[in-house]
Every structure is written in structure tokens, then in C-alpha cells.
Amino acid sequence: MVAVIEMSQTKWLIAATVPGFERNPLKKLDADPDSVFRLLRRWRSEAIQAGREVRRIVVAYEAGRDGFWLARWLQARAVEAYLIHPSSVAVSREHRRAKTDRLDTELLMRAFLGWLRGEKRHCSMAAIPTINEEEAYGSVDPRQRTSYMGA
């Protein structure tokens, strides 16, 4: 199962490709990692009920101001997490497009699926530092460490 997250301050839009689903689900949630994890588990359960095997759950979102904590949080729960370099996702310069979260998730999903197939030109990934490496750069908010890392 593959999912991408378009993050804003208060809401996250999650799009997925789920085995056994005819549609590609799209769900807007409050900006809460537990809600995302519950949704991923629900989609996995529905795929299994449809007779499909889900060997792995893979999630990506754009690297940015939200930092690396969500990737580490998901990885601690056996979810493969990746951060996409925002500047690496190709956007057509010839056509102006509307800027919506739904369109952004479609673009991220296409780029991420291409990358997963081994077509590295679709996008590139940011390295996910450990909490100690991130602290060494001085970019960790202490509130994030206690609320999301279980410290």
C-alpha cells in the first residue's frame, strides 16, 4: 500500500493506492499522526478483507517546515516513510495549474510511484536524520520531541 500526505498546519490530506480498491482513497484529517496511522491500518484491513495481501505500507510527504518527526514516528510503527525533496518534483512550466491540496497529492503520488518503480528522475528523497543528528543542527523543537517521540 502506498500513501502520500499533503500537510498544512491544521489539516492533512492523505491519498493512497490500496490493493483491492477500485478507487484511490483520499481523506482529509486533522494534523494528527495517530489519525493517519489509524486510517492506514483501516485501509490495510479493508485490502485484506478484499483478499489482497499488503506486505508493506509506504508513505511519503514533502520535506519542509514540518520536519522529520513524522517520518521517524511512522518508522517506529513499521511504516516505511520517505521525505520527497519539494524542488525535485517536476511541474510543467508551460501550463499554469490550480494550486490545491488534491492536485498536489496527485502530483506527489505520481512522482513517488515512479521513484518506487526505480525511475529516479521522478523525484529525489531527503535523508531522515536521527533525533540526535537533527538536534545537532538545532532544528528540533523540544515540544515535538516530547509529544511525538515518546521522550
In percent, the amount of the chain with pLDDT more than 90 equals 56
Euclidean distance between CA atoms 103 and 15, whole angstroms: 10
- Average pLDDT on 4-19 reads 94
Is 13 a residue whose pLDDT tops 70?
yes
Is 96 a residue whose pLDDT tops 60?
no
Count the domains in the chain.
1
- DSSP β-bridge partners for residue 17: 2
Instruction: Quote the cell numbers at residue 6.
Output: 499533503
CATH number at residue 62: 3.30.420
At 103 the pLDDT is: 80
Give 4's DSSP letter.
E
- Average pLDDT on 65-77 reads 90
- Average pLDDT on 54-66 reads 90
Is 149 a residue whose pLDDT tops 70?
no
The parent domain of residue 87 ranges over 2-148
Q: Which long-range contacts (CB under 8 A, 24 or more apart) does 38-44 make?
A: 39/14, 40/1, 40/3, 40/16, 40/79, 43/1, 43/3, 43/16, 43/18, 44/1, 44/18
Confidence of residue 55 (pLDDT cuts 50, 70, 90): very high
Instruction: Quote the cell numbers at residue 136.
Output: 545537532
